[in-house]
A and B are shown apart, each in its own frame.
Chain A
């Protein structure tokens, strides 16, 4: 019950936030569809047509990230819909989609981690940023740096919480845990994915704020 309330609350807040940003930026439904379509098409096009090794690697990196996000959205929809709407576990076609998307997500996430970890590691500039913020020192682009810093945090948090989210379900598929253990595993899965959902919402929010300011 608590999980259902929290889940509903998180999703409701996110929808409100999305609507608020869309309204303030003047983004309508068509804009969303076009933007998503363009981004995805461009990504695929770059991936297929790229000749240069470095650029290919860059596109591959973004491809894995996109697949991870896409499958996560799919998992989130199929996983949360029956809980919110009917207070029931997922079954039927939603379960089929969920269990099909899950391995793709986990593999894509591992590859995303592999390709992105080096770019998302904290370095001296982050340390300087913290010092500046701490000392009240204003840089020319502090907000942008701060966002990058936060995105790094979200990235590592996402990786960290994806571990219990996926392992809890994998372990429950082996005959090691009884009914109580299974329920504990399910609870771990539910709450860790809830945190993943919150992380994704923050990530989206940061990205949209950048998009609103820069237009790209």
Chain B
């Protein structure tokens, strides 16, 4: 492809190109109906679209792709049925596939495509269910929106892309976000028989189908448009999907938070999170090279840039992008064996109790009319220090799954939306007059009521259960509520790496006491248990539960640090005493040797 082969020049080519629609026809302003441009055809004319579509942001639906380290899931959250359940197309333990809760690919895209750059299941027929065929025809394919990342145009509005997804205007999403076109109407209410070329049916005049209008002044006399495309994706593009808001009562103003120290130092997200034409993104964790075809990703981790790689590297690798090499003075090497860099350097500083956070992907941040309440579902807490999949401790975000399911032979599967939503919303749904977006406060009796109704509905074959706050709730034989621990009730956690704090704000900067005290937040901070059930809301878990540490052993070890400063000096004194004795007798021995040597072989005259 002409656009994929670099001639070596570092300048960014000017993208003055004609718009091409899904039928491979050039778009002219005076034609009717005016079609949205297709990125697959417009960008794909010069770039290998098929190869690009194998990238990390587009390949979640491909079961042959390695899932890699668990990441942030999509979270189906509904306050009116007290539900928040992690779902993912990747095989991350603890998540559920969308179809498990009754979300087919179309509904999945219509719900979560708002924070996806398109592609993947949004455009591949193989992933699309037959029963939604006509809806796909109406909405069109959700092609990769190349502009989501590569558009440097200041008028680019990714929230308009998201809005089109929510309106099921998949085909129009990229065009709407471009900054040189506007899209009116919605495909959501259109009948299955709607045809974009034939237009709206006279039977449904009230339905306004999606229509695109281009800014005529943006076209030149050849019908070309200037796309301000950049290889160096601006951080603002990444932020649309990867923003995090910390809900800290002590810091409520935006200016009280700093961004990632790397960004403030002048780097961009893509300086580390790189990829080639295949768009297989360097995620930045240490063992990602296991799933990537190149080992270069290993040098783009914290360790890779700041410490370099192996000593036998042919070319020195450390200090990449000007990364300073840390001294880590006084920190025993065991820390680097047991902890990831992010433990001390990333995320929020650990407080007495974890704080809640909101993320773009989970809370639809950045969309018009999004619920800005701090109580809005889903409830995600951070930071939780836990042993990650690589065996090292790292800060994680945590989500307590809360969903209605059925249990059969001790295996719990979530119920489909069409089963639990009508029942739960009717019985426990409440009027959210304050628009908090929070779930209701529930009593045991509410749960019993819903479980009982699900049971008598005949829609489930197993016993209905409710999972929340780390417990599974089921009806006992006398229709009272019983709870117990269950594997499926365990929280879903995923490691975080940002924002990276400055070195002077890293854990340990004030000495061992930052972590090694009997009340340190690292070991003994409280992990909030988020649940709508009032009776368990006060419960908290200890961080040691996630650190794979015996709390008593952790306490004893931390307690020993109380005496450690004194012991250090006692040991130092004792060692110096031993050294003094050693030197004293050493010198005495030396004196004896000198004496013997000088006595031997000397005449009386010499002695005189």
- A8 close to chain B: CB less than 8 A: no
CB pair B331 A179 closer than 8 Å: yes
> Which residues of A have CB within 8 Å of B333?
89, 179, 182-183, 186
> Which residues of A have CB within 8 Å of B327?
178-179
CB pair A127 B596 closer than 8 Å: yes
CB-contact partner of A166 in B329, B330, B331, B575, under 8 A:
B575
State which residues 549-596 of B face A: CB under 8 Å.
Answer: 549-550, 553, 556-557, 560, 564, 567-568, 570-572, 574-575, 577-579, 581-582, 584-585, 588-589, 592, 596
| CA distance in complex: A156, B587 (Å) | 13
> Which residues of B have CB within 8 Å of A117?
581, 584-585
Q: Report A101-125 CB contacts with B as 1/0, cut-off 8 Å.
A: 0110011011001100100011000
Q: Which residue of A lies closest to B592 (CB)?
A: A122
CB-contact partner of A109 in B326, B568, B578, B592, under 8 A:
B578
CB-contact partner of B330 in A90, A100, A174, under 8 A:
A174
CB pair A179 B560 closer than 8 Å: no
CB pair B575 A170 closer than 8 Å: yes
> Which residues of A have CB within 8 Å of B584?
117
CB pair A170 B572 closer than 8 Å: yes
CB-contact partner of A89 in B328, B337, B575, under 8 A:
B337
Count, chain A residues at interface, CB 8 A = 42
CB pair A173 B581 closer than 8 Å: no
CB pair B329 A178 closer than 8 Å: yes
- B372 close to chain A: CB less than 8 A: no
State which residues 76-92 of A face B: CB under 8 Å.
Answer: 88-92
**Nearest-CB distance from B338 to chain A (Å)?**
7
Q: Which residue of B lies closest to A114 (CB)?
A: B581
- A210 close to chain B: CB less than 8 A: no
Q: A107-B570, A179-B326 are in contact. Are A96 and B553 (CB under 8 A)?
A: yes
- A15 close to chain B: CB less than 8 A: no
CB-contact partner of B560 in A99, A114, A177, under 8 A:
A99
**Nearest-CB distance from B190 to chain A (Å)?**
62
| CA distance in complex: A117, B549 (Å) | 44
CB pair B589 A121 closer than 8 Å: yes
CB pair A175 B329 closer than 8 Å: yes
Q: Give the most central of B511, B550, B585: most A CB within 10 Å.
A: B585
> Which residues of A have CB within 8 Å of B582?
113, 156, 159-160, 163
Give the secondary structure class of A's interface.
helix
- A167 close to chain B: CB less than 8 A: yes
Q: A176-B330, A182-B331 are in contact. Are A113 and B581 (CB under 8 A)?
A: yes
> Which residues of A have CB within 8 Å of B578?
106, 109-110, 113, 159, 162-163
> Which residues of A have CB within 8 Å of B577?
110, 113-114
| CA distance in complex: A100, B560 (Å) | 8
CB pair B557 A109 closer than 8 Å: no
**Nearest-CB distance from B513 to chain A (Å)?**
13
Q: A106-B571, A177-B330 are in contact. Are A91 and B556 (CB under 8 A)?
A: no
CB pair A96 B334 closer than 8 Å: no
> Which residues of B have CB within 8 Å of A113?
577-578, 581-582
Q: Besides the contacts A110-B577, A170-B568, what 19 more A-B pairs have beta carbons closer than 8 Å? A: A88-B337, A91-B334, A106-B571, A106-B574, A107-B570, A107-B571, A109-B578, A113-B581, A122-B592, A159-B581, A163-B579, A163-B582, A167-B572, A174-B330, A175-B330, A179-B327, A182-B328, A186-B332, A186-B333
Residue pairs across A and B with Cβ atoms less than 8 A apart, 22 shown, are A88-B337, A89-B337, A92-B549, A103-B574, A106-B575, A106-B578, A109-B574, A114-B577, A117-B581, A121-B588, A121-B589, A163-B575, A170-B575, A172-B332, A173-B564, A175-B330, A178-B329, A179-B326, A181-B329, A182-B331, A183-B333, A186-B333
Binding site for B on A (CB under 8 A): 88-93, 95-96, 99-100, 102-103, 106-107, 109-110, 113-114, 117, 121-122, 127, 156, 159-160, 162-163, 166-167, 170, 172-179, 181-183, 186
